Amino acid sequence: MEDKFSQRLYALVKAISPGRVASYGQLALMLGHPRGARITGWAMARCQDPSIPCHRVVKGDGTLAPEDAFGIPGLQRQLLQAEGVSFLPDGRVDMAACRWPGPPPQNAD
């Protein structure tokens, strides 16, 4: 059974647009846990739902998850490239160009 943090995290990750990425720390901050990047990473590692685009979550500097995280070496990069995510010469995601700005604000009507 998923805890409330994981449920909220997975819902947020589902909202990341194709061609965009978010960092573990960015997501933690959006969920009200400004120092929760590690907890976010653990929750993402436990995710078994194929409808959640886990490949769109990277480290804050654009570094991809460890090669074994997706079961196939290079799979995260392949998935991101297929969505149009750009990479720096050193192999990290170009966070300046591809960082997800977050969900649109909710109307308070």
Which residues does the annotation mark as catalytic?
54
Give the phi and the psi of residue 23 in degrees, each rounded to 5: -95, 160
Residue pair 40/6 in contact (Cβ under 8 Å)? The answer is no
**Encoded tokens for 82:** 């297929």
Q: Report in angstroms the alpha-carbon separations of 64 from 32, 104, 108.
A: 24, 25, 36
Helix (H) or strand (E) holding 22: strand 22-23
Strand, helix or coil for residue 24? helix
